[in-house]
Structure 1
Amino acid sequence: MDGFYRIKREGFPEDLADFGYEFDKEGKLRNIETGEGFKYSARFKDHYYNEKHYEALADAMTIEVYKMLESECKLKRAPVPYDVKGDEERTFIFHSEDAFTNPDKLLVLMHGSGYVKAGQWSRRLIINDSLKSGSQIPFIQEAQKEGYGVVVTNTNDNHHHELGLVRGSEHPEAHILHVWKHYIYPAKAKHIAFIVHSNGGRLVSLLYPQVEEQFNGRVFAVAMTDSNHYFERHARYVGLQKVSRNWACNRRPLDTPLRTNNGDVVRVSAGTKVHEETSWLCFNSIFKYLRERLAAVKAKEGEGEGTSEATNKESCGNGDKGGGSCLVEEELKGEVKKMKT
């Protein structure tokens, strides 16, 4: 074994170039010879072959995204399980050079369910639109510009066909718990944030009760895009609710407050009804939210340099453990309450 598993589909190549495709400078998938975008119909009226071709090409695209995470984002791989032994099955996460040594802040990215792997929000968008809308690369690059260490999870890489389950990543829930225990929590960062899409929100909600005290002490923000989380006992998740916002599928303008059930994460509009588009369309709003949350936390901790009156207002000073409540979030809750009445 070469240490990291690569999917091989019988009868199809492994590399994107061998399919006749490449990503252009704009991050769009193009036919190398014609310059045209991806075409699903590789064989006329042969749905079975076309579907297999698409899946194999998506696997090759995944390998290409991995290469870009390393070449363009300068990320490195770390094994899961963290203490991998000999030739046992394994997967990996990606992390920036300073992910575990940055004393200030760490950002964790988590995709949804299905076939997507590390660095992806949506295979369909990467293949049919661009890397910009479908991959996590813009989020990683922006986080690095803002001084974050970065961890990119790989929650759907759980088993390797007949080769067996991966220890520490037997299922998505096991993966994020393993990565939290052995990579995220031991990191030096005082402040931790998550950006999670779809099932990633559910995984955070399942992780939270298992590591509640650790989570409350350091996680200042969880930005969710059309999350499918569910809180069985609302009172148990107060700490998570307080630091989270969910950009949900909705036709209303981006960031419009939406009706939020009691005890749930504050919901705002993602400005689209298309589930997989939510992450990219909320890009600017998400990073604005992270900046506001972090400013509020640091103001409360007395870390803010030249803290302005406006920044002080963001910290509600209600004595909550960890993140602290942001004025912007309280205003949104007020708007939601008006909607309910």
Structure 2
Amino acid sequence: MSHSPPPASNCEEALIQLKNFGYAFDGEGVLRKVDPATGEPGKELFSYNVSDDAAENEKHYQKLANQIPEIVYALLEKNGLSRTYIPFDQPPERSSFVFSQPAKLSQSKKLLVLIHGSGYVKAGQWARSLIINNSLDHGTQLPYVRQAQKLGYDILITNANDCTRFYNGKENPIKGVNTSVEHTKYVWQNIVLPAKPESVAIVAHSYGGSLTLDLVERFPDFFKESVFAIAFTDAAMGSPQAKNKEYLCDVACDWVASNTPLDTPVSQSKSSIRRISAGHTKHEWTSYSAIDSVFKFIEEKYEQRANKK
């Protein structure tokens, strides 16, 4: 398959590119075909098949999907979050970035950290396919942002798949954050720990679960002292280290893809993290489907923590 063109460099450019493909988001955040008569989003939804050639269909999809990150970044900023470029010693054009509210985290009473999965998704996204085929609310982290804001949380959004920059004629790894593991480690060491948050909750989807376990293993004292709730959504992760198992079984829950109703317990061993149904059978839907249950869990855990003090 031929390589997709580079993604748009800002939201305005991305929206223009999207329109060039014949698409635009409507007022409800649904991607629709542009009505040629009005130049506005019409009624037709996204169609993957543009050709009889399977490779051509995939190429078209990837080109269109490449426009999504900048659109989501702009929506995060519109919702009050700010970019922090990392690593701190690199110029912005050769850096990655994360989003937070406030712009500089400091002694947050309650901090919510959102960690996406692997692949093409960038900051603010849970599932690119849901953004394209359903709506921005279905596939982005915006519903989590809005709910966290309502509940008085400061917010930090990772960008763990943003590991390269194009310059000198080629893609180059971003020094210090050139893998998703390095990214989350850097964010924790250089943003979270120095900010000295009082109480931290994490929502991690898919491979974000593995990244979270890596953080627990690197910073066990901080986690056991400050991280009171970890909500996984259909996490892709191995077994936690024995020394962290009791802690994780206490603070964590995994909402997994299942054909049973939301919150139905899913079989597990007694010494593993609790697993309950996300209320949907598809992996990529779990974060969207489980959001109300996730926040209920986080708030209950916070209340338990507050009552212990």
The normalised TM-score by structure 1 is 0.80
Asked if structure 2 preserves the Cα contact closer than 8 Å seen for 1:198 and 1:227, the reply is yes
Output aligned runs, 1:306-317, within 5 Å.
none
Asked if structure 1 preserves the Cα contact closer than 8 Å seen for 2:213 and 2:240, the reply is no
Match of 1:236 in 2: 244
Quote the offset at 1:170 in angstroms.
1.2
Asked if structure 2 preserves the Cα contact closer than 8 Å seen for 1:235 and 1:263, the reply is no
Quote the offset at 1:197 in angstroms.
0.4
- Quick one: distance in 2 between partners of 1:136 and 1:87? 24
Match of 2:117 in 1: 112
SS of equivalent residue, structure 2 residue 67: helix
- Quick one: distance in 1 between partners of 2:52 and 2:260? 39
Match of 2:26 in 1: 24
Render the CA deviation track for 1:37-91: whole Å, top value 9, x for unaligned: 111123x2122222111111111122111111111x121111121332x477211
- Give the % identical residues: 38
SS of equivalent residue, structure 2 residue 85: strand
**One-letter amino acid of the counterpart of residue 60, structure 2:** H
SS of equivalent residue, structure 1 residue 278: helix
Asked if structure 1 preserves the Cα contact closer than 8 Å seen for 2:113 and 2:157, the reply is yes
Asked if structure 2 preserves the Cα contact closer than 8 Å seen for 1:99 and 1:149, the reply is no
Query: Of 53, 62, 71, which aligns to 2:69?
Result: 62
SS of equivalent residue, structure 1 residue 282: helix
Unaligned 5+ segments in structure 1 are 1-5, 302-341
Render the CA deviation track for 1:104-156: whole Å, top value 9, x for unaligned: 11100011111111111101100001111111001001101110110110111
Match of 1:79 in 2: 85
- Quick one: distance in 2 between partners of 1:108 and 1:92? 14
Match of 1:129 in 2: 134
Query: Of 279, 297, 300, which aligns to 1:289?
Result: 297
Match of 1:51 in 2: 58
- Quick one: distance in 1 between partners of 2:69 and 2:240? 35
**One-letter amino acid of the counterpart of residue 160, structure 2:** T
Match of 1:330 in 2: none
* Between structures 1 and 2, the one with greater strand share: 2
Match of 1:218 in 2: 226
- What's the Cα RMSD here? 1.9
SS of equivalent residue, structure 2 residue 66: helix
**One-letter amino acid of the counterpart of residue 55, structure 2:** Y
SS of equivalent residue, structure 2 residue 177: coil
Asked if structure 1 preserves the Cα contact closer than 8 Å seen for 2:83 and 2:100, the reply is yes
- Quick one: distance in 2 between partners of 1:212 and 1:188? 15
**One-letter amino acid of the counterpart of residue 198, structure 1:** S
Moved more, 140-149 or 232-241: 232-241
Match of 1:139 in 2: 144
Query: Of 277, 284, 289, which aligns to 1:269?
Result: 277
Q: How many residues align?
A: 290
Match of 1:337 in 2: none
Match of 1:332 in 2: none
- Quick one: distance in 2 between partners of 1:230 and 1:278? 19
Quote the offset at 1:32 in angstroms.
2.1
Output aligned runs, 1:1-40, within 5 Å.
7=7, 14=14, 15-33=17-35, 34-40=42-48
- Quick one: distance in 2 between partners of 1:102 and 1:29? 39
**One-letter amino acid of the counterpart of residue 187, structure 2:** V
Query: Of 299, 304, 307, which aligns to 1:299?
Result: 307
